[in-house]
A and B are shown apart, each in its own frame.
Chain A
Amino acid sequence: MNTTTQPAATRPDPILTPDAAFFWEGAKRGELLAQRCADCGDLQHPPRPMCAKCHSVRREQVRLSGRGEVYSWIIPRHPQPIGFTEPPVVALIRLDEGIRLVSNLVGVAPADIHNGVRVQVEFEPTVGGYAVPVFRPIAS
């Protein structure tokens, strides 16, 4: 057989918990979601079963713009992270909607990374068929 295939994904699967499963199900569909309180409208991450502002347990999931900026970043060199062939750039992303996410930066050389770089979400597959949001710098 002579077909070109994507290399098999090696990235670890997300760890699903009852209050956060929606986030990873959304990522699987290529959507970046966050939890919003269905009563007071507060946007919350990490997700939680009760709104700290109004104590409502009614939640809704909203789709985010996927745009934001680098808030902090590092490269774990040693020991090698499980599921990665090259050390990833781990970054904290401050999304334009105001919440922060741990993620990866892709398509950027370490010398070009600094806090404040504008980024846009894309998705990468995981070993067990899920996907995670990662971020690529927006060409200015």
Chain B
Amino acid sequence: MAERGRQAAIAGIGQTAFSRKDERSELQLAAEAANAALLDAGVAAAEVDGMITYTLDPTDEIGMIRCLGVENLAFTTRLPGGGAAAASTLHQAMAAVASGVCEVVLVWRSINQGAGYRYGRPQAVGTWLPGGGTGSLLWCMPFGAQAPATWAALASQRYMETYGVTNRDLAPVSVIQRKYAAVNPAALFFGKPITMEDHQQSKWIVEPVLRLLDCCQENAGAVAFVITTVERARTLRQPPVRIVAAAQSIPFNVEVISNYYHDDLTVMPEAVGTARRLYEQSGLGPRDIQTAQLYDAFTPQVLMQLEAFGFCGRGEAKDFVSGGNLELTGLLPVNTHGGLISEAYIHGMNTIAEGVRQARGTAVNQVRGVEHVLVSSGMAGAILGRV
């Protein structure tokens, strides 16, 4: 592990209520989440000198400056790759703080799919925008592959057929995450547990891979974080959560969702690369992680990340998830807020917020004895821990 003079910590987290539909603008949602994160940390908005969000985020840095009263911003970054940007934000914030470029970095993601871009709606025309991390969607559109569930499922099917994973094998992920959401008041599916049979009776979205209960949903909300030095964070309102390691990995020929061109579609090479960098940076391994918060727009992504991060062997994830290992009493509680499928789809950011709560010890479904939390958005990840 490289010697680092300045280490980064997450000092504050904030979020709006999550809902199906929200009348507020995406900028208002972002500003409210950011303000909540600053209040949580006990840092004045005027001190923010770095801002990081996604290329796909519909809000604007100048708008945020005007809402919050940021006095003199020194650094901005927008990260590519759709939801893969989620954990990249921590990586960039860590680099900005560790290098001394920034003292206080504000990270956010705001989404309002009732009013803005509805990800689940098919699209067949338009131009490709750089920064989505996925230049090859245009090769999908005229064939009826026009929405994220379809794009993702086409790659997952190869993994599933190769290892004999059926849609029923995905059900435990959905059922356990819903169990977590059912007791999480912030979740869209609070109070609504499901059974294996509910999963199997939900309609096909993409046959034979995804049923309705394998998919995230369109919704509205925002999540924000405040990142500063560990030293500064120690003086603030919350127990600091150290970014023990953070990394990005984009191997050759890998894309975000139309990810069909790398050598072996039964592995997720970007997550394998992220895992390798995180474990090298930290000196830790999968056995040192007590809970994992994994990007789960669709259930197969959970299985493939479990394998990529070494929590089980290749092709073994279906047995790992059916054996109760994702439960609070299991080997590796996963997506303890309910995940993107059952808490809300804030493009991966609410999953990182859950990682911070687990490290603080304040999660609704708190895992006992947490020392290290893995948060992953596939192409990027971080290991979080108490200071």
B208 contact set on A, CB distance < 8 A: 74-75
Among residues of A, the one whose C-beta sits closest to the C-beta of B136 is A46
Among residues of B, the one whose C-beta sits closest to the C-beta of A15 is B138
B147 contact set on A, CB distance < 8 A: 76, 79, 81
The answer to whether residues A102 and B204 also contact, given A46-B136, A79-B122 and a CB cut-off of 8 A, is no
CA distance A11 to B124 in the complex (A): 9
Binds A, one of B109-117, B149-157, B185-193, B317-325: B149-157
B203 contact set on A, CB distance < 8 A: 77-78
**Interface hits, B66-102 → A, CB 8 Å:** none
CA distance A46 to B124 in the complex (A): 18
Contact indicator B139/A102 (Cβ below 8 Å): yes
CA distance A72 to B121 in the complex (A): 23
Among residues of A, the one whose C-beta sits closest to the C-beta of B266 is A72
**Interface hits, B131-150 → A, CB 8 Å:** 135-136, 138-147, 149-150
Binds B, one of A35-43, A58-66, A84-92: A84-92
Number of interface residues of A (CB under 8 A): 40
Number of interface residues of B (CB under 8 A): 43
Contact indicator B122/A87 (Cβ below 8 Å): no
A114 sits at the interface (CB 8 A): yes
Instruction: Please list 29 pairs of residues, one from A and one from B, whose beta carbons are closer than 8 Å in the complex, sorted by A's number.
Output: A11-B142, A12-B141, A13-B142, A14-B138, A14-B142, A15-B141, A17-B128, A46-B135, A46-B139, A46-B261, A72-B260, A75-B208, A77-B204, A78-B204, A81-B124, A81-B145, A81-B147, A81-B150, A91-B154, A100-B260, A102-B136, A102-B143, A102-B154, A114-B161, A115-B158, A115-B161, A115-B162, A132-B142, A134-B143
Q: Give a binary string over B9-39; 1 marks a CB under 8 Å from any A CB, 0 the rest.
A: 0000000000000000000000000000000
